[in-house]
A = this chain, B = another copy of it.
Amino acid sequence: MATIRDVAKTAGVSIATVSRVFNGNTAVSEDTATQVWTAASALDYWPNGAARSLTTSRSNTLGVLLPDLYGDFFSEVIRGIDQLAKREKYQTLVSGSHASVEDVLIATRAMRGRIDGLVMMAPDSITVESVTKIRRRLPVVLISPPFAVDGCSSVSIASFSGARAVVAHLVGLGHREIAMVAGPAGNVDAEERLRGYHRGLAEAGIPPRAELVVQGDFRESSGYAAAAALLDRRPRPTAVFAANDCMAIGLMSALGNAGLSVPHDMAVVGFDNITMAQYMRPPLTTVHVDAYALGQKAVRLMLDILSDPEGEKVTVQTIDVVLKVRCSCGAKPAVATNTMLGAEADQ
């Protein structure tokens, strides 16, 4: 394995000069530079990353922590992260499946000295203290954090606005008995969607009925199970809002088995707009979340911090969502408009 010394010897210069050439330092004559390049390519030399980051204490690598790597959503987030990072000459050290706070701390510890910053979608159980602890050593940008951390930038999904719009849309179609299949307790987006649901009802002057909210866990099976519970309610709901598409799909399948037709007997709306949503029969009305943009935005924030660590200004951004009206809600898609729902409406 050729080192900088080998190249220096071959090119007949000092190692300092070789280093200068590889770092684009101008204080090197053109002749010398070409000699160095020739020697380097002859030896197939390229600076050793570890050695380089040891001296510079820069790795040009971003750490990426995700609770899981499963499914449409996360893969899009990663894609957004990877693509922007790559364009800006950063590498990405990825790690998935971090269920506990302990897990997260171990993972960040293992990354020590290898990354310049951490883009993290933390598990729901994460605490302010642990984030603070990590931030003492590294810039951190959070994706969809369950809480605000003082001085920490983050990017979130406009879950609240989206949910509120769903309810408003259903009300507009004439529904009054609107049920919800909620996401797991403790998950921010689940809770924000629930909050948006309640707000939507309130704004329509519909008194909330607690028995119309069924607990789910974001998985298809819990959507399936929710159907049975909801069909027992009297008066029976005429519309159901599921906190994500997976549960909506499970729900629709259960409704189908129960002999009900969607949207005629029951309107269904989901959240996330996973690829499958448009292929359902009927196509699922849902709220589109741009996961790719989510990842990109997080990296953009991180790069801003890295380019000027002193001037780090806390930025709490929100990714807009879009109501995708299809058929499962009973509206005529051609008539409906896809409204963008931004953060400005989030309170």
Contacts and interface: CB of A to CB of B under 8 A. Distances in A.
Contacts of A44: 133, 136-137
- Sorting the interface of chain A by its residue count into under 10, 10 to 19, 20 to 34 or 35 or more gives 35 or more
A50 B59 contact: yes
Contact of A74 (B75, B86, B95, B114): B75
A75 B70 contact: yes
Given A93-B61, A137-B1, A279-B279, A79 B83 contact: no
A69 B59 contact: no
Contacts of A133: 44
Interface string A107-125: 0011111100000000000
Interface in A1-56: 1, 44, 46-54
A78 interface: yes
Interface string A247-268: 0010000000000000000000
A92 B91 contact: no
Contact of A69 (B47, B79, B91, B96): B79
Interface in A65-89: 69-72, 74-75, 78-79, 82-83, 86
30 contacts: A44-B133, A44-B137, A46-B109, A48-B54, A48-B113, A49-B110, A51-B113, A72-B75, A72-B275, A74-B75, A75-B75, A75-B78, A78-B78, A78-B94, A79-B96, A82-B94, A82-B96, A83-B97, A86-B95, A86-B96, A91-B111, A91-B114, A92-B93, A92-B94, A93-B93, A93-B94, A275-B275, A276-B276, A279-B280, A281-B281
6 closest cross-chain pairs (CB), A and B? A75-B75, A48-B113, A49-B113, A49-B114, A69-B79, A50-B113
